[in-house]
Structure 1
């Protein structure tokens, strides 16, 4: 069973450190590997109020919760999947999660319009990224499938949130 130390040792043997992953010194699609560049873009878009901070934060929370749960389950069951026992910070730094979270998930066409819907959508995206990474080791960068699946559900999430709000207000005025 690989441990956290063996995962980090394997990454170090490949020349990948936390700092190099943060700066974009890893292999991947052009523009998607530098978390620093994506963070600067996110800061600009947040400052201009073009993207929702709720959706970004919810994606981070969803990813962290799912990765932590898989870490706990992997430790208890003795899982041998590297993604199941990968620390949360590596899920954030490796692959195109940051790029997808900022530039694809926050696209107004693909995201929810209601604030509760943004929280739900973001949490589901983050959790599904980890779930796909753990369940399908042949496709370690699960950002695009997760974004597509949850973005398809965005209108349904908004519809459910609005219907819930209408029912809540109707009960208040009866």
Structure 2
């Protein structure tokens, strides 16, 4: 039951994050599509560097990153008479909106900005979705966090934030390389 629940949640998350980022990208072709490429990339670099600072502070303060302090209703789980797949699908769709719930990392916000400025490709929401879905499914199938190095000393939240910081750390370098090596 847990694997089926997680797979449905992951599918909803993947579908919504892919759709939402592609939609932002399309909006960006109209609104930000006229910006010079170096301005768009430079804006994303500044945002990524600022996000590193925000996430480092969240790790230090044992908290969450910037975002809404809300969670998908847990009461959905306890409604009788509803098909089993409705709750995980709604949870997945909600988290796939990227900005609608708690954020572990500012990586989400940088992705949304990069899509809106047409720096990130319109399919990057699918990559984001897979980066959520695969660890979720592996952790459910594995049954505990020991396969990920979790022995009780570091909560999974901190591990996810550390991964987000590592990704954010490479983004400015990659964007600057894209700005000067490709363009």
- Using the size of structure 1 for normalisation, the TM-score is 0.33
**Greater relative contact order: 1 or 2 (C-alpha under 8 angstroms, separation 6 or more)?**
2
Normalized against structure 2, the TM-score is what? Answer: 0.32
